Structure 1
Amino acid sequence: MMEAIAFYLFSVITIGMFAIVVFSKNALYAMSALAGGMIAISGFFFMLDADFLGAVQIIVYTGAVMALYAFGMMFFDTTKDVKENIKEGKIVNALWISAVVILIVIVSIPFISDHIMLDASTSHYTVIGANNPQAVGIFLFTKYLVQFELAAVMLLVAMIAGIILVSKKMDISLTTTVEEKIEKEEFQIKDTK
């Protein structure tokens, strides 16, 4: 019963956080919600007794989102007040309705689940040593070595592409900033004459 409640609680939190990511117009709110959603996902791993994967989820993905958050604070002008106008509260109402529906489902599970119960020995599969970081490392570098290296190369390519895209945008923004300054100085010189 407690596992079901925890599962639905983490589900509501995760879906709510990612809904904020999708519907928020403020980049900083979206990145904060993305970090919260990644932390909520780690709760699923801890529920499945995969402590190593839960810790990796928090460290790697939430750390990556925090790095994204830092870059977002550097690149976006956060001094401007961004006012979010939620039209007629549709998003808030949708979140409340979905939370109430999930709560009703959670409360009704004990009454419905008497007929749906599975044998505990067949419903949960465990791999001996899968939670041990050393066993995970040996498994990754023996059976899944090619896939692991392919993922590393893909991440490297994505990082290089991101650097190239950002450098092009920075060149354009620096150029326009210098041109705007020159135009303002020329306009001020004309006004003084």
Structure 2
Amino acid sequence: MFEIVAFYLFAILTIVMFSITVFTNNALYALSALAAGMIFISAFFFLLNADFLGVVQIVVYTGAVMALYAFGMMFFDSMSEVKERIQNPRLVFLLSGMAAVIIVIVFVSPIVSDNIIAEYAVHPEYGNTQDVGVVLFTKFLVPFEVAAVMLLVAMIGGIILAGKKMDVSYSELSEDEIDALESSNEKDSK
């Protein structure tokens, strides 16, 4: 009984948060609602006793991806207006509604049918996290290592690109020199 009540509670909260994300005009409200929706999605993993996936959902999506969106929002020029021109809004509404119905049917039909087979069943002698680790480091070791190397290369590339854009290192300057440099940058931008 508890699981059913918790499921419907978190489902309603998730739908409300993502609706706020879509329909609000304030970017900060949208970002906050998106982060809350991601946290509510992790509750489903905890209800299914997939603790590892729940924590990964919170850390990766709510932590890292939301931080990325926040940086993007800070660098986005919110003063400039974006004008959208939709030639036929009814056609767009009809096509997106049909796409949504098709996606719902595709994802709901296996749940409704009786022939669902678990490909990697959880073994009762050890937990979910250990199962994920065994699958990652046996069957998917090479893709896991390739993803790690790609992330390392992307991080190093980002550091190099950010370093090239800096003319002066702030760590080597005194506070007076930093203030003078920032005031000259403000004058140049005006």
Give the fraction of aligned pairs with identical amino acids, expressed as a percent. 66
**Alignment TM-score, normalising by the size of structure 2:** 0.52
Rounded Cα–Cα distance in structure 1 between residues aligned with 2:126 and 2:116: 18
**CA displacement 1:131-166 (0-9 Å, x = unmatched):** 343442232011112343455467678879999xx9
Alignment partner, residue 38 of structure 2: 38
Shift of 1:38: 0.8
**CA displacement 1:56-105 (0-9 Å, x = unmatched):** 21122111134125414632578x8xxxxxxxxxxxxxxxxxxxxxxxxx
Bigger relative contact order, structure 1 or 2 (CA pairs below 8 A, ≥6 apart):
1
CA RMSD between the two structures: 4.4
1:21 aligns with 2:5: no
Alignment partner, residue 7 of structure 2: 7
Q: List runs of 5+ in structure 1 lacking aligned partners.
A: 81-117, 167-176, 182-193
Q: Check whether the contact 1:140–1:148 (CA below 8 A) recurs between aligned residues.
A: yes
Counterpart of 2:142 (choices 140, 146, 150) is 146
Alignment partner, residue 71 of structure 1: 71
Amino acid in structure 2 at the alignment position of 1:43: A
Q: Check whether the contact 1:28–1:69 (CA below 8 A) recurs between aligned residues.
A: no
Q: Check whether the contact 2:52–2:128 (CA below 8 A) recurs between aligned residues.
A: yes
Q: Matched residue pairs, number?
A: 140
1:137 aligns with 2:125: no
Query: After the TM superposition, which of the residue ranges 40-49 and 4-13 deviates more from structure 2?
Result: 4-13
Seen in structure 2, the aligned counterparts of structure 1 residues 53 and 131 have a Cα distance that, compared at 3 Å, is: farther
Q: List runs of 5+ in structure 2 lacking aligned partners.
A: 80-113, 163-185
1:94-173 to structure 2, matched below 5 A, reads 127-128=122-123, 131-149=127-145, 151-152=147-148
Amino acid in structure 1 at the alignment position of 2:140: Y
Seen in structure 2, the aligned counterparts of structure 1 residues 43 and 75 have a Cα distance that, compared at 3 Å, is: same
**Alignment TM-score, normalising by the size of structure 1:** 0.51
Seen in structure 2, the aligned counterparts of structure 1 residues 51 and 161 have a Cα distance that, compared at 3 Å, is: same
- DSSP 3-state at the match of 1:6: helix
- DSSP 3-state at the match of 1:56: helix
1:73-88 to structure 2, matched below 5 A, reads 74-76=74-76
Structure 1 moving runs of 4+ over 3 Å: 122-126, 129-132, 149-163, 177-180
Q: Check whether the contact 1:31–1:65 (CA below 8 A) recurs between aligned residues.
A: no
Q: Check whether the contact 1:31–1:68 (CA below 8 A) recurs between aligned residues.
A: no
Alignment partner, residue 169 of structure 1: none
Amino acid in structure 2 at the alignment position of 1:18: F
Alignment partner, residue 91 of structure 1: none
